[in-house]
């Protein structure tokens, strides 16, 4: 079963608006990562937040992590048409001696120019 | 600056045929993995490797085989293709260690008829 579940599964906004995507997970984690996938391409790493961090920023991205609620959010501010993509959260933890990275099903973001 | 290279980009197989999906990386990453991506199911880990000569199973290994003879290459073999293996396959690599971001190839779209 999937460790992470994104919400909403699809989101459509106007250019310039902010986009917020949420991720919930089930078990304890070491880190939580967010990835972007443009149509027909592989995933690209955006940002990582460690389990002992609560908030992290990178450019127009803001990620929060609440380990007590087992949830994270990704905020994209001042969205652009080029932000149109699917966004995935991924949790990683050691499992059986190796780094196990588990992905959610993703949020499909459409930014309308 | 190739990163992770996957070949072929597209493949059509008949049920029962076998084939090998190629994956090569030039970043000297010890960790390599294969995922399959299906609509509504996110990415699921098939097999992974933490170095040459070391491989292990992920969540959905049945019907797939891997080997890792060099650091650079991590081929995925379909032994006897089935329609249920119709999917998009992604290879990813990273440094070994929790929290290392994954670098993805652009995927192989496989259709089994």
pLDDT tens digit string along B53-111?
Answer: 999 998 899 999 999 999 999 999 999 999 999 999 999 999 877 678 999 999 999 99
CB atoms within 10 A of CB B14: 8
Among B81, B102, B100, B79, residue whose Cα is nearest residue B33 = B102
Segment A54-106, tens digit of pLDDT: 999 999 999 999 999 999 999 999 999 999 999 999 988 776 666 778 898 89
Indicate the residue of B97, B100, B107 with minimum beta-carbon distance to A42.
B107
Gap between the Cα atoms of B36 and B105, Å rounded: 12
Residues of A in contact with B50 (CB under 8 A): 98
CB atoms within 10 A of CB B28: 9
Residue B48 token pair:
């992974």
Task: Please name the residue of chain A whose CA is at the shortest distance from the CA of residue B95.
Answer: A99
Chain A contact present for B100, CB below 8 A:
yes
Burial label for A97, CB within 10 Å (0-12, 13-18, 19+), is: exposed
Chain A contact present for B102, CB below 8 A:
yes
Residue B96 token pair:
């070994």
């Amino acid at each position: 079963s999937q460790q992470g579940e994104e919400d909403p599964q699809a989101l459509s906004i106007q250019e310039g608006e902010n986009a917020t995507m949420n991720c919930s997970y089930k078990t304890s984690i070491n880190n939580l990562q967010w990835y972007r996938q443009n149509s027909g391409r592989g995933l690209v790493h955006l940002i990582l937040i460690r389990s002992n961090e609560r908030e992290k920023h990178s450019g127009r991205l803001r990620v929060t992590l609440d380990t007590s609620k087992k949830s994270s959010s990704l905020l994209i501010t001042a969205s652009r048409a080029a932000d149109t993509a699917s966004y995935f959260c991924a949790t990683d933890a050691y499992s059986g001696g190796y780094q196990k990275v588990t992905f959610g099903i993703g949020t499909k973001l459409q930014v309308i120019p | 600056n190739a990163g992770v290279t996957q070949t072929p980009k597209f493949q059509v197989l008949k049920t029962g045929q076998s084939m090998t999906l190629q994956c090569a990386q030039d970043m000297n990453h010890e960790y390599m993995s294969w995922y399959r991506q299906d609509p509504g199911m996110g990415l699921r880990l098939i097999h992974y490797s933490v170095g040459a000569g070391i491989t292990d199973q992920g969540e959905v290994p049945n019907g797939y085989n891997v080997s890792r003879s060099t650091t650079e290459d991590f081929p995925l073999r379909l032994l006897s293709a089935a329609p249920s293996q119709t999917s998009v396959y992604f290879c990813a690599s990273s440094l070994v260690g929790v929290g290392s971001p994954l670098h993805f190839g652009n995927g192989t779209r496989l259709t089994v008829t």
